[in-house]
Amino acid sequence: MAKGKFLRGASRRSILQQFGAAAVGISFAGGLAACNRQGGGRTVNFYNWDTYIGPTTLADFEAATGAAVEMSLFANNDELFARLRAGNPGFDVIVPSNEFVTRMSQAQMIVPLDRARIPNFANLLAEFQDAAFDPGRQYSMPYTWLTLGIAYRKDKMRGGAVPNSWRYIFDSPQYSGRIALLSESADLMRLCAKYKGHSVNNIPETLLSEIEQMLIRQKPHIKAFHEDDGQDLLASGEVDIVLEYNGDIAQLMAAEGGDAFDFVVPQEGTLINSDCLCIPTGAPNPDDAHAFINYLLDAEAGQKITEEIQYPTPNAAVRDRMPDSYKNNPVIFPPADVMAKSEYGAFEGDERSRLYEEIFTRINAA
């Protein structure tokens, strides 16, 4: 593994989340952070995840096109959505995940992209040139993809076994008190459905109540529902086995002492997510926004980004330029057989997210 080349420090979903969470109230205030410097040259207001860009990408773009990029950060899709809910406060390019691409396109919060202005679309792997969550790639361009899986401390696994089933964290007292799950209702319901042999989508009511019972039964063995800081809980020895995104664990494993940990996508398959580049409705500068999206899909620019963030790339031209230590890293690119069993979670309407949330509230209160 190319240690040291990996991202240092916090993950894209990190401490910012807590600040952001505390700030949901002020999201009304709108475009404060995104105040665009009109009159002072062309600007692209880019609303991105934390630590999710190359070190020189923004400056390189300005040098190439003359348009400056102002980047603001969000911590999760809910924050992004809440921020744009009452109208676009001035962003030109945003990075929602797959489900939110559907949700925001349905709510007409993002606009169709002009493919003619994004010739680097040709760089994308064939399987990313179309997407079920955005048929025909009308609204979004893929930026990265990522999967959920089980991260664990190797020497605490009984008999050195690899916890390659969701059973270990959802339905077994084996690691009682040493388990942390992600505090995301929809992800939990979907992965539990996957464990029960169902698709992550269209989960029937009966299965949902079965899942609720299972998680309530499992609750005494779970130490915490974490706010996407599972890698920290694992690293500090607070828990031994945790539900997390592969990118976060790839970073942990690349850090000093990272040999103690490993990551596995359970045999039942998992949830795939993809973060996508979109232009929100009412973007002040759609021309440069298209140019910027095209630039991010460029082979060289994409390589610099991927070298920094170490997330799986949907870009064939970028992947070809990356070293084997990236291409063959099983944490970044899980084995083909489990990926074949994995799915994207579809946006199934707001009622569905509310139902998942209520079930999660019940599990918490039980």
**What one-character DSSP code corresponds to residue 8?**
P
Residue 61 or 100 having the CB closest to other proteins: 100
Residue 82 or 339 having the CB closest to other proteins: 82
Residue 74's closest CA among 91, 56, 54? 91
Binding range to other proteins, per CB under 8 A, among 65-73, 78-86, 264-272, 293-301: 78-86
Residue 88's closest CA among 33, 39, 142? 33
Q: Applying CB under 8 A, does 194 fall inside the site for other proteins? A: no
Residue 346's closest CA among 149, 131, 144? 131
Residue in 14, 120, 140, 185 binding other proteins, rule: CB under 8 A: 185
Site for other proteins, residues 320 to 359, rule: CB under 8 A: 350, 353-354, 357-358
Which residues are registered as beta bridge partners of 62? Answer: none
Residue 341 or 354 having the CB closest to other proteins: 354
Q: Encoding tokens for residue 10?
A: 């916090």
Cβ atoms of 343 and 272 within 8 Å: the answer is yes
Residue in 81, 91, 170, 344 binding other proteins, rule: CB under 8 A: 81
Per rule CB under 8 A, count of chain residues that contact other proteins? 43
**What one-character DSSP code corresponds to residue 314?**
-
Q: Applying CB under 8 A, does 82 fall inside the site for other proteins? A: yes
Minimum Å gap between C-beta 263 and other proteins is: 21
Site for other proteins, residues 207 to 236, rule: CB under 8 A: 219, 222-225, 227, 236
Which residues are registered as beta bridge partners of 243? Answer: 150
Q: Applying CB under 8 A, does 22 fall inside the site for other proteins? A: yes
Site for other proteins, residues 152 to 181, rule: CB under 8 A: 177
Q: Applying CB under 8 A, does 366 fall inside the site for other proteins? A: yes
Site for other proteins, residues 229 to 288, rule: CB under 8 A: 236-238
CA–CA separation, 109 and 95 (whole Å): 13
**Beta-carbon contacts of residue 330 (< 8 Å; ≥ 6 apart):** none
**Beta-carbon contacts of residue 320 (< 8 Å; ≥ 6 apart):** 299
CB atoms within 10 A of CB 17: 20
Asked whether the CA dihedral 36, 140, 30, 227 is positive or negative, the reply is: negative
Angle between helices 205-218 and 185-195 (to 10 degrees): 100
Residue in 58, 109, 203, 242 binding other proteins, rule: CB under 8 A: 109
Minimum Å gap between C-beta 45 and other proteins is: 20
Q: Applying CB under 8 A, does 56 fall inside the site for other proteins? A: no
Minimum Å gap between C-beta 13 and other proteins is: 14
Residues binding other proteins (CB under 8 A): 15, 18-19, 21-22, 24, 28, 78-79, 81-82, 85-86, 103-104, 106-107, 109, 177, 184-186, 219, 222-225, 227, 236-238, 350, 353-354, 357-358, 360-366
